[in-house]
Structure formats: structure tokens, C-alpha cells
């Protein structure tokens, strides 16, 4: 059973600080990794994707990938109250490019 594991939280971070969200996955063959943000009562929204080991930055967001450790993380710099949401880690299934599986998500709460 291929799995994506996340700490469910809630993770509470003061406004302006760095929020660090972590995810591990079980399938060594996975090649594509995604972070989705989901506000309460809304559908998931893709915010970052990463395919190569190392860091990928987009504005205040940085995705980090370590395939050897089967670990992917998301850093949010200068956290804002609007970043309060559930963050879903998603990983493509094996060699199948067209199917991704999701973790249960980490609830992030930014404290004003």
C-alpha cells in the first residue's frame, strides 16, 4: 500500500515566522511531488510542484525534496494569517505520471 504521511497538526506559527511542513512517502519510484493548500470548505489548490532533489522557491514558498530520504517539505516565509489552511502533500504513484495520492494534510494556524 503506497502511502503519503503527514503530521495532522494543528501547527501553530506566529505571524511573520517561518512555517515548516513535512511529508514522507513510501514509493521510491515516485518522481513528481505537489503541495496543495485547502481552506476550510474549499477545494484543494495547487501551490507548488517539485521534481528534482533540492529546493524550489516561488515567492514566500520553498519546496524541498530529498528522494534518498523519501522526504518532501514546504517552507512558508513571513507567514501571514491568510496562510492558515490545511496543506496537502501529494505524490505521483510509482511510474504512473497521471495518478497522484494525497496525504491527510497538516492544519496550519498562523497566530496574529
Partner 1 sequence: EAGVAQSPRYKIIEKRQSVAFWCNPISGHATLYWYQQILGQGPKLLIQFQNNGVVDDSQLPKDRFSAERLKGVDSTLKIQPAKLEDSAVYLCASRLQGPGQGYTFGSGTRLTVV
Task: Kindly tell me which of 34 and 76 has the beta carbon lying closer to partner 1.
Answer: 34
CB 44, min distance to partner 1, A:
5
Task: Kindly tell me which of 16 and 96 has the beta carbon lying closer to partner 1.
Answer: 96
Residues that bind partner 1 (CB under 8 A): 4, 8, 31-32, 34, 42-46, 49, 51, 88, 90, 97-105
| Phi, psi dihedral angles at 41 (to 5 degrees) | 80, 5
Task: Kindly tell me which of 36 and 83 has the beta carbon lying closer to partner 1.
Answer: 36
CB 76, min distance to partner 1, A:
18
Task: Kindly tell me which of 98 and 112 has the beta carbon lying closer to partner 1.
Answer: 98
- Specify whether the CB–CB gap between 18 and 79 falls below 8 A: yes
CB 48, min distance to partner 1, A:
9
What is the DSSP track for 50-88?
Answer: E-SSEEEEETTEEEEEETTTTEEEEEESS--GGG-EEEE
**73 has which bridge partners?**
22, 64
CB 110, min distance to partner 1, A:
20
Closest CA to 110 of 4, 5, 21: 21
Q: Please calculate the CA angle 37-90-1 and round it to the nearest 5 degrees.
A: 145
Amino acid at each position: 500500500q503506497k502511502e503519503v504521511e503527514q503530521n495532522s497538526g494543528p501547527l501553530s506559527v506566529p505571524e511573520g515566522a517561518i512555517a515548516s511542513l513535512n511529508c514522507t512517502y513510501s514509493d521510491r519510484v515516485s518522481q513528481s511531488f505537489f503541495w496543495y493548500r485547502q481552506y476550510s470548505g474549499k477545494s484543494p489548490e495547487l501551490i507548488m510542484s517539485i521534481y528534482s532533489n533540492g529546493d524550489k522557491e516561488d515567492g514566500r514558498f520553498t519546496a524541498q525534496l530529498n528522494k534518498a530520504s523519501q522526504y518532501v517539505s514546504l517552507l512558508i516565509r513571513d507567514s501571514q494569517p491568510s496562510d492558515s489552511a490545511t496543506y496537502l502533500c501529494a505524490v505521483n504513484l510509482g511510474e504512473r505520471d497521471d495518478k497522484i495520492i494525497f496525504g491527510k494534510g497538516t492544519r496550519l494556524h498562523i497566530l496574529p
